[in-house]
Structure 1
Amino acid sequence: MVAKISIGSSLYGALSYNGMKMNRDEGRVLGANKIILPADGHIDIARMVENFNLFMPKTGRTKKPVLHISLNPHPDDKLTEQQYEILAREYLDKLGFGEQPYIIYKHMDIDRHHIHIVTVNVNEQGKRLNQDFLFRRSKKITTELEEKYNLHKAQREKISPDTPIRKIDPSGDIKRQVANTVKMVGMRYKFQTIGEYNAILSLYNVKCDPADGKVNGREYHGLVYFATDDNGKTIATPFKASRLGKFASRTAIDGRFERAKDKIDVAPTKRKVADVIAHSTDNADFIAKLKEHNIDVVLRYTEEGRIYGVTFIDHNTMTVLNGSRLGKEFSANAINERFNNPANAPTDTPDVATPIVVPPIEPTPDDTGSNNQSQTGTAQDTQTSDGQQQSTVTQSVSDFGDYDLPIPGLDLFQQGQSFNPDEEEFRRRMQRKKKKGRRPKF
C-alpha cells in the first residue's frame, strides 16, 4: 500500500476536489470523524468547511493546516468499503491524527480503487500537530498494515534497459505513466531539440511544452508535460516537471541536448532513409517501408496538406533526427515535393543502386516547428522485437497551441518558443502570397 501526503492551505480546495469525484459518480464518502454527514448523502462543501472550522482556531500561525492523504492498496487487493474505512481510521490513529476532524472518501475513477482523506494538522488551541518525520512514519505504518491484514507489499517499479515503453493508459495512474515514459525516453534516446524530444514522446501519447515567465520578479524556465489520446488531445491535468522528478526538468533535458551532440551519428539513419525514399511510390509506402527498417517518422502538415516538418526516429540507433539534419534532400520541403508534387520533385534523389558516400554532417537548424506544438493526428502501433510499442504520427498545424493550463500558478507562465529558420521562411512566403492576392482598398 502506498500513501501520498499533500500539505496545503486550502480546505475548500481539498473538499471540492473530492466533491467533484462524487458528482461524477467516481467517489463516495465512507466515513468521518467530528464532521456531520447528511442523511441523504448529499455533501454540501460550504457546510463541510463550517464543520471543520468549529475545530480550528479563528487565527493561527500555521499557514498550511490542511492534509490531503491518499491510500493506494495494490490492485490485487480486493477490499470491501468497510475494510477501506478500517484501514483509513487505523492509519490516522497510528499517524497521530485519529482525534482530528476528517472525512474518508473512496475513489473509483480508475480501476485501482483507493482512499482519500481530508483532515487538518492543527488542534482547537491552534497548535500544530507533530509532523516530524511525517513521511517516514507514514511508510512504517503502511508496512505494518500490509503485514497485519495480509496485503500485497508496495514495491518500487524498477526500470531496466529492456523495460518496454508503452502508450499512456487513461484508466491507469497517468502521472506515474508520464513520469516513467519521460524517464525511459531520456535514458534511451538521443535528441537535440524540444521538437525532436516531442517527436519521440508523441509515440507514447505524451507531450512537453516549455513554460517561461516570471514569478515574484524572478524569471522561470520550466517544462510542462501532458498526457494525450491518439489524436493528441489532452486527457488529464498537465504536470509541471517538478511533480515528475528532476529527470524531467528543463535543466536535465537541456543537458541531454548538449550530451547528444557528440554522440549522434546520422550516417546509418541517412543510408536507410535514402534507400526507402528511392523505392517508395507515395507517402503511405514511404511510412510503411521505414517501419520495416524499424524507423518511425513524424510528419507535420499545414491545413492545406503541405508537409512542413519531418522527424525520423531510428529505433536501431536510438536517435531522433529532424529531416534537415540528414541533408537538404531529406528536409520537409524535399519530402513534400517528392510525394505531394511529384512533377516538381528533385531529380537528384539518392540512388541506392550505387554506393552512397556519406560525409560528416553538421547539424542544421530544426525544421520541426515551434517547441510548444501540440501533437495531433493519428497514430498506428507496431511491435518491435523487444515488445516496445511504436507509432507513426501525422499532425495538423491547425490545433497547435490550443490548450488550457488548469494547474494553479501556471497562468503566470507563457509558452516558450523556438526559432526555426526553414519554417519561418515558409510562413513568410505564404503570407506574401496571400497579400499579393488581396484587392487594394480605396
Structure 2
Amino acid sequence: MVAKISIGSSLYGALAYNAEKMNEAHGRVLGANKIVLPADGNINIGAMAENFKAFMPRMGRTKKPVLHISLNPHPDDRLTDQEFEILAREYLDKLGFGEQPFIIYKHEDIDRHHIHIVTVNVNEQGKRLDQSFLFRRSKKITTELEEKYGLHKAQREKVSPDTPITKIDPNGDIKRQVQNTVKLVGMRWQFQSIGEYNAILGLYNVRCEMTDGKVNGREYHGLVYFATDDNGNTIATPLKASRLGKFASRTAIESKFERDKEKIDIKSTKRQVSDAMAAATGKDDFIAKLKEKNIDLALRYNADGRLYGVTFVDHNNHVALNGSRLGREFSANALNLWFNDPTAKPQVQQQPRQLQGQQSQGQQSPPPGGGQQTSEQSQPNQPQQQPRQKPSHSDDFDYSPVLPGLELFQTGPDFDPAEEAFARRARKKKKKKGRGL
C-alpha cells in the first residue's frame, strides 16, 4: 500500500477536490471524525469547512495546517468499504492523527479503488502536531498494515529516462499519467518556448497553459495542465503544476528554456526538414516525408483557419523547434502560403554535407570578390601570371601586371628625383639622431 501525503494551506481546495469526485459519481464518503455528515448524503463544502474550523484556532501561526492523504492498495487487493475505513482509521491512529477532525473518501475513478483523507495538523490550542519524520513513519505504518491484513506489497512507480511515454488513457489514473508524461518530457526532450513544449506534450494528449493574475493583491504566474483526447478536447479536470511536482512548475520550465538555448544544435534537424521540403509536392506529402524521417509536424491554426504556428518535433535528436528557428522558409507564413498555393513553394537552401573548405576533385571555387582567377586557378595551356604582392611599406609602388611574351619590355617603377632626394635627407637625419643618443 502506497501512502501519499500533501501538506497545504487550502482546506476548501482539498474538500472541493473530493466533492467533485462525488458529483461525478466517482466517489463517496466512508466516514468522519468530529465532522457532521448530513443524513441525506448531500455534502456542503462550506458547512464542512466550518466544522473543521471549529476545532482550529482563529489565529494560528501554522501556514500550512491541512493534510491531504491518499492510501493506494495494490490493484490485486479488492477491499470492501468497511475494510477501507478500518485501514484509514488505524493508519491515522498510528500516525498520531486519530483524534483530529478528519473525513474519509473513497475514489472509484480508476480501476484501482483507493481512499483520500482530509485532516488538519493543529489542535484546538493552535499547537502543531508532531510532524518529524512524517513520511518515514508513514512508510513504516503502511508496511505494518500490509503484513497485518495480508495485503500485497505495493511500491511507488519509479520513472527513469528509459521509461516509455504513452498517450493518456481516459480510463486510467489521469493525474499520475500527466505527472509521468510531464516528468519524462522534461528529462528527455529539449525545447525553448511554451509552443515547442506543447508540441511535444500534444503527442501524448497533454496540454499546458500559462496562468497569470492577481489574488488578494498579489500577482501569481503559474502553469495548468490538461489531459485531452486525440482531437485536443479536455477530458478531465485541469491540474495545477503544484499538484504534479516542482519539476512541472513555471519556474522549472522557464529555467529549462534558458538551459536548452545553449544546448540545442539545429543543423541536423534543418537538413532533414530541408530534404523533405525539397522533395515534397504539397502539405500532405511534406508531412508524410517528415514522418519517414521520424519528425512530426505540429500545426496551430487560429479561429479563422489561418496557420499561425509551426513546430518540428524531431524524435531522432529529441528536440522541438519552431519553424522560424530553422529559417524564414520554414516559418508559419511561408508554409501557409505554400499549403494554399502549390506554386508558392519556399526556396530551400540545401545544407552542406561536408566540412567547410573541402571540395570535390576537379571543382574550383570562385575568388571571394568575384574577380579574375589567380594563377593556380587559371585554365591549362595558358601562361601563368606573377601574383600581385601586397605593399610592404608606404613608399612601395604598385607592380604592373606582366604581359605574356613581353617581359623584357615591361615598364618599371616611375623615378622622381625630388622624392628620392627627400628620402635620402630623411635617412641621414635618422642616423645622426641615433648617434647623438
* Fold conserved between structures, TM > 0.5: yes
C-alpha displacement of 1:114: 0.9
Identify the residue that residue 282 of structure 1 maps to in structure 2: 282
1:61 aligns with 2:60: yes
Instruction: Decide whether the 8 Å contact of 2:72 with 2:114 is kept in 1.
Output: yes
Identify the residue that residue 313 of structure 2 maps to in structure 1: 313
Identify the residue that residue 169 of structure 2 maps to in structure 1: 169
Identify the residue that residue 94 of structure 2 maps to in structure 1: 94
Amino acid at match of 1:357: P
Identify the residue that residue 370 of structure 2 maps to in structure 1: none
C-alpha displacement of 1:164: 1.1
1:188 aligns with 2:183: no
Instruction: Decide whether the 8 Å contact of 2:2 with 2:156 is kept in 1.
Output: no
Identify the residue that residue 434 of structure 2 maps to in structure 1: none
The superposition leaves residues 387-420 of structure 1 with CA deviations (integer Å, 9 ceiling, x where unpaired) of xxxxxxxxxxxxxxxxxxxxxxxxxxxxxxxxxx
1:250 aligns with 2:245: no
- Output the CA distance in 2 between the equivalents of 1:313 and 1:159: 23
Q: Structure 2, unaligned stretches of length 5 or more?
A: 356-437
- Output the CA distance in 1 between the equivalents of 2:200 and 2:128: 47
- Output the CA distance in 1 between the equivalents of 2:280 and 2:65: 64
Instruction: Decide whether the 8 Å contact of 1:168 with 1:178 is kept in 2.
Output: yes
C-alpha displacement of 1:180: 1.9
Instruction: Decide whether the 8 Å contact of 1:306 with 1:340 is kept in 2.
Output: no
Identify the residue that residue 428 of structure 1 maps to in structure 2: none
SS in structure 2 at match of 1:5? strand
SS in structure 2 at match of 1:203? helix
- TM-score normalised by L of structure 2: 0.70
Residue 284 and residue 141 in structure 1: after superposition, are their counterparts in 2 closer, same or farther (change >3 A)? same
Q: How does 1:199-218 map to 2 (within 5 A)?
A: 199-212=199-212
Residue 246 and residue 13 in structure 1: after superposition, are their counterparts in 2 closer, same or farther (change >3 A)? closer
Q: How does 1:198-347 map to 2 (within 5 A)?
A: 198-212=198-212, 220-346=220-346
- Output the CA distance in 2 between the equivalents of 1:3 and 1:44: 27
Identify the residue that residue 435 of structure 2 maps to in structure 1: none
SS in structure 2 at match of 1:177? helix
Amino acid at match of 1:109: D
Q: Structure 1, unaligned stretches of length 5 or more?
A: 361-442
C-alpha displacement of 1:44: 5.4
Amino acid at match of 1:223: L
SS in structure 2 at match of 1:117? strand
The superposition leaves residues 243-279 of structure 1 with CA deviations (integer Å, 9 ceiling, x where unpaired) of 3333333343333333333433322222222222233
SS in structure 2 at match of 1:235? coil
Residue 359 and residue 222 in structure 1: after superposition, are their counterparts in 2 closer, same or farther (change >3 A)? farther
C-alpha displacement of 1:85: 1.5
1:70 aligns with 2:70: yes
- Output the CA distance in 2 between the equivalents of 1:53 and 1:324: 55
Q: Which runs of 4+ in 1 moved over 6 A?
A: 215-218
Query: Which is further off, 334-343 or 205-214?
Result: 205-214
- TM-score normalised by L of structure 1: 0.69
Amino acid at match of 2:329: E
Instruction: Decide whether the 8 Å contact of 2:296 with 2:314 is kept in 1.
Output: yes
Amino acid at match of 2:319: T
